């Protein structure tokens, strides 16, 4: 019998961890919560979730001594997954309510999603709802073992697979090679996922995305 994968979820005082925990457990993981640096450093698979404002999230990490531990985990080569705000905090900085420094694990900026379409029509922000996501061209062009390396937990993604999003800002990586998936928002391509090596970020909520989301989390649990 294969050993159960242990997945550690970072608890920094922001967001409802229960839905993430339950989704991971349904995918076969043994879930632990980390409230201090020692808990993060003991992790193999690490999940950084979160909802709310970027500055509040970073403050929660710093006040609990977790920020550097998360950076160390990323440098170690072990799997790291950021979800929603957790994904955005992987960036170098955010423009949400001023300029705020992030974890700088994947170089890039968090910027507002467009409030008008490419045709000039107003768009409702925050964006809330289900939408199909598209694998970015570089990752989409990979095949075989390279595809798994480029796409990570989205390796089995099928065109038309929809996920659930709630956000007003998105992550623009400095290196286009770190862009994993996007979705169409009034003719604009908005970031849905980023990836650099062992580090993956989802703007969408896989734990709220039904079968598609659970399949994605199951892939993360199995392979990172």
How would you write 141-156 as a 3-class SS string?
CCCHHHHHHHHHHHCC
Task: For residue 70, give both structure tokens.
Answer: 């998360």
Cβ atoms of 93 and 59 within 8 Å: the answer is no
- Would you put residue 30 in left (φ > 0), alpha (ψ -120 to 50) or beta? beta
Question: Cα separation of 101 and 118, whole Å?
Answer: 30
In the set 45, 84, 96, 170, the catalytic residue is 84
Cβ atoms of 163 and 139 within 8 Å: the answer is no
Q: Is 207 a catalytic residue?
A: yes
Question: Cα separation of 137 and 2, whole Å?
Answer: 35
**What is the largest distance, in Å, between two alpha-carbon atoms of the chain?**
57
How are beta strands 93-94 and 100-101 bridged, if at all?
Answer: antiparallel
In the set 45, 100, 170, 205, the catalytic residue is 205
In the set 27, 100, 150, 207, the catalytic residue is 207
Give Cβ neighbours of residue 141 (< 8 Å, ≥ 6 apart).
none
As annotated, the active-site residues are: 84, 205, 207
């Amino acid at each position: 019998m294969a050993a159960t994968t242990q997945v550690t979820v970072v608890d920094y005082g922001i967001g409802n961890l229960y839905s993430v925990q339950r989704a991971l457990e349904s995918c076969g993981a043994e879930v632990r919560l980390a409230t201090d640096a020692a808990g993060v450093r003991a992790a193999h698979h690490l999940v950084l979730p979160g909802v709310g404002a970027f500055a509040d999230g970073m403050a929660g990490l710093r006040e609990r001594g977790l920020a550097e531990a998360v950076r160390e985990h990323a440098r170690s080569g072990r799997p790291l997954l950021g979800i929603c705000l957790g994904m955005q905090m992987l960036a170098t900085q955010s423009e949400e309510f001023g300029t705020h420094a992030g974890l700088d694990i994947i170089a890039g900026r968090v910027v507002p999603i467009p409030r008008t379409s490419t045709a000039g029509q107003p768009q409702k922000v925050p964006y809330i709802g289900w939408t199909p996501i598209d694998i970015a061209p570089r990752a989409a062009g990979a095949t075989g073992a390279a595809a798994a390396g480029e796409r990570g937990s989205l390796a089995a993604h099928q065109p038309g697979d929809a996920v659930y999003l709630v956000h007003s800002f998105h992550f623009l990586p400095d290196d286009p090679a770190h862009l994993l998936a996007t979705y169409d928002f009034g003719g604009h391509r908005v970031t849905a996922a980023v990836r650099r090596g062992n580090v993956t970020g989802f703007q969408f909520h896989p734990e709220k995305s039904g079968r598609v989301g659970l399949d994605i989390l199951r892939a993360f649990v199995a392979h990172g």
